[in-house]
């Protein structure tokens, strides 16, 4: 499904999440709530596609986005707990939003389930524990290529590019263009470069994507920028947590990019985004990408209650730009 203006809600299942069962439970519930745009690691998408079809959905009604990080990007890391240093205090387990920490019954120490860990660092932040360290990887780019080579349909690829090496960003972006044809999103935050440098880099990536489209007789694919704010902040529901991505989107809006906002998004994001972006009606209103907050919102709830909460968030997001604007029709393409 071409994204265009068909949705304003993107559900991020966690790039580092390889736990198919938990990812499917969240995704299929949000699909029932109306969500049609999902972002996940390449390994999750085939099972998600099967799950949607099994529930009676039309696969073509959905946009499935495969994410891949550049080496060094926060989205490509996993936590690791040193058994020799771990004191067994359990604070890391109690504060992990993904239930990725468990107790080894034999040693009494805590360990990380690498399939569930998304590298958010909540365990480290709450404890400042010397036993916790992080390992980085970018194997998802190879996984993405493998999936495409096997014939699986991917609607969008997203490159997480929040690193300070512009040459590496361009190199990995070019690599993806050699095997992927379709919409591409670049997830980047405002911390790596001054705004002018960020815009210059994004314009170059957009140009490369346009050239690739022309060479392959595919002029329908779109280039997106995912303005990342307080990435993987543990599902904070405050106003402050979402301001960074909204303000970054506001800075990028004049340059004509198709925008998605992520990082710290929550139930306050639709109103804040509308209040800030609607000051100038010529800007296309961004898609809102929800990650930890959306997953945390329904965690542990009975199915009916979880579905109600998911529907409320979905409907508020889909309708957020229809108020106080002269034109209620959104064009993201």
Say whether both 67 and 105 belong to one domain: no
Please report whether residue 259 resides in a domain.
yes
Count the domains in the chain: 2
Q: Beta-carbon neighbour count of residue 238 at 10 Å?
A: 12
**Strand ranges (E), 130-211:** 132-136, 156-160, 183-189
Say whether both 180 and 251 belong to one domain: yes
* Residue 328 confidence (pLDDT) above 60: no
Highest mean pLDDT among 13-17, 262-266, 272-276: 262-266
Say whether both 219 and 98 belong to one domain: no
Say whether both 130 and 143 belong to one domain: no
Q: Please, which pLDDT band fits residue 4 given cuts at 50, 70 and 90?
A: low
Please report whether residue 302 resides in a domain.
yes
Question: Could you tell me the CATH number of the domain that includes residue 98?
Answer: 3.30.70.20
Cα–Cα dist 40/100, whole Å: 17
Say whether both 16 and 30 belong to one domain: yes
Q: What is the pLDDT of residue 238?
A: 87
Question: Could you tell me the CATH number of the domain that includes residue 293?
Answer: 3.20.20.70
Please report whether residue 328 resides in a domain.
no
Q: What is the pLDDT of residue 326?
A: 38
Work out the percent of the chain whose per-residue pLDDT is above 70: 91
Say whether both 83 and 212 belong to one domain: no
Say whether both 297 and 239 belong to one domain: yes
The strand pair at 132-136 and 77-81 is best described as antiparallel
The token duo for 141 is 């780019």
Please report whether residue 190 resides in a domain.
yes
Quote the domain boundaries for residue 88: 76-136
| Domain stops at, among 109, 136, 163 | 136
| Domain stops at, among 136, 165, 187 | 136
The token duo for 243 is 């301001």
Q: What is the pLDDT of residue 140?
A: 86
Beta-bridge partners for 10: 289
Say whether both 119 and 258 belong to one domain: no
Please report whether residue 21 resides in a domain.
yes
Across 244-265, b (16+ Cβ under 10 Å) vs e yields bbbbbbbebbeeebbbbbbbbb
Q: Name the least confident of 10-14, 41-45, 182-186, 279-283.
A: 279-283
CA-atom Rg of the chain in angstroms: 19
pTM over 0.75: yes
Please report whether residue 333 resides in a domain.
no
Please report whether residue 245 resides in a domain.
yes
- Model pLDDT for residues 59-107, shown as the tens digit of each residue: 999 999 999 999 888 777 788 899 888 888 888 898 888 888 999 888 8
- Model pLDDT for residues 119-168, shown as the tens digit of each residue: 878 888 776 788 898 887 777 899 999 999 999 999 999 999 999 999 99
Please report whether residue 325 resides in a domain.
no
Say whether both 119 and 44 belong to one domain: no
Say whether both 122 and 243 belong to one domain: no
DSSP 8-state class, residue 301 = -
Q: What is the pLDDT of residue 84?
A: 87
- Model pLDDT for residues 169-227, shown as the tens digit of each residue: 999 999 999 999 899 999 999 999 999 999 999 999 999 999 998 877 666 899 999 99
Q: What is the pLDDT of residue 321?
A: 73
């Amino acid at each position: 499904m071409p994204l265009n203006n068909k949705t304003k809600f993107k559900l991020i299942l966690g790039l580092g999440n390889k736990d198919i069962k938990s990812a499917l439970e969240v995704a299929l519930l949000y699909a029932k709530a109306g969500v049609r745009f999902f972002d996940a690691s390449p390994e999750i998408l085939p099972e998600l596609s099967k799950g949607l079809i099994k529930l009676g959905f039309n696969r073509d009604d959905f946009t499935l986005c495969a994410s891949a990080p550049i080496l060094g990007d926060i989205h490509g890391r996993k936590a690791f707990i040193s058994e020799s240093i771990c004191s067994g205090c359990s604070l890391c387990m109690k504060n992990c939003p993904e239930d990725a920490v468990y107790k080894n019954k034999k040693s009494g120490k805590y360990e990380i389930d690498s399939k569930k860990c998304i590298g958010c660092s909540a365990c480290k932040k709450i404890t400042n524990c010397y036993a916790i360290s992080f390992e980085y990887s970018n194997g998802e780019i190879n996984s993405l290529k493998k999936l495409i080579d096997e014939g699986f349909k991917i609607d969008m690829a997203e490159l997480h590019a929040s690193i300070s090496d512009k040459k590496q960003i361009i190199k990995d972006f070019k690599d993806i263009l050699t095997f992927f044809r379709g919409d591409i999103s670049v997830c980047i935050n405002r911390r790596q470069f001054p705004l002018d440098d960020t815009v210059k880099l994004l314009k170059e990536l957009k140009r490369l994507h346009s050239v690739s489209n022309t060479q392959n007789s595919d002029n329908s694919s779109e280039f997106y920028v995912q303005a990342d704010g307080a990435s993987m902040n543990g599902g904070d529901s405050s106003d402050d947590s979402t301001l960074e991505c909204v303000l970054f989107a506001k800075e990028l809006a004049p340059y004509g990019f198709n925008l998605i906002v992520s990082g710290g998004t929550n139930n306050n994001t639709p109103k804040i985004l509308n209040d800030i972006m609607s000051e100038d009606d010529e800007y296309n209103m961004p898609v809102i990408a929800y990650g930890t907050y959306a997953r945390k919102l329904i965690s542990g709830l009975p199915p009916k209650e979880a579905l109600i909460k998911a529907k409320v968030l979905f409907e508020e997001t889909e309708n957020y730009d229809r108020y106080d604007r002269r034109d209620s029709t959104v064009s993201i393409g």
